[in-house]
Structure 1
Amino acid sequence: MSKVPQIKVPATYVRGGTSKGVFFKLDDLPERCRVAGEARDRLLLRVIGSPDPYGAQIDGMGGATSSTSKTVILAKSTRPDHDVDYMFGQVSIDKAFVDWSGNCGNLTAAVGSFAISNGLVDAARIPVNGLCTVRIWQVQIQKTIIAHVPITDGQVQETGDFELDGVTFPAAEVQIEFLDPADEGDGDGGGAMFPTGNLVDDLDVPGIGTLKATMINAGIPTVFVNAADIGYTGTELREAINTKPDALARFETIRAYGALRMGLIKDVSEAAQRQHTPKVAFVAPPTAYTSSSGKTIKADDIDLNVRALSMGKLHHAMMGTCAVAIGTAAAIPGTLVNLAAGGGERESVRFGHPSGTLRVGAQATQENGQWVVKKAIMSRSARVLMEGYVRVPGDAF
Structure 2
Amino acid sequence: MVHQTMKIRIRRAPSASNKINHMAFPSLCLPRAHRMWGALILGMLASCASPPAPGPAPDPSITAPAGPAAATTATVIEQPRSRWVPVGWDALPGWGGDQIQFAWPALLRSCQRPAPAWTRACAEALALPEPTEAAVRRWMQHRLQPYRVEPRDGAASDGLITGYFEPLIEARREPDAQFRVPLYRPPADFGKRKPYWTRAQLETLPAARAKLRGNELAYVADPLDALVLHIQGSGRLLLTEPDGRQRLVRAAFAGHNDHPYRSVGRWLVEQGAFSLEQASWPAIKAWARAHPKRVQEMLQINPRYVFFREEPLPDPSIGPLGAQGVPLTPGRSIAVDRESIPYGTPVWIDTTEPTPAPVPAPRPLQRLVMAQDTGGAIVGAVRADYFWGWTEGAEEFAGRMKQPLRMWVLWPRS
Structures share fold, TM-score greater than 0.5:
no
Of structures 1 and 2, the larger Rg is shown by 2
TM-score category of the 2 structures, normalised to the smaller one = under 0.3
Structure with bigger RCO (C-alpha 8 Å, 6+ apart): 2
TM-score, reference length from structure 1: 0.23
TM-score, reference length from structure 2: 0.22
Q: Which protein is richer in strand relative to its size? A: 1
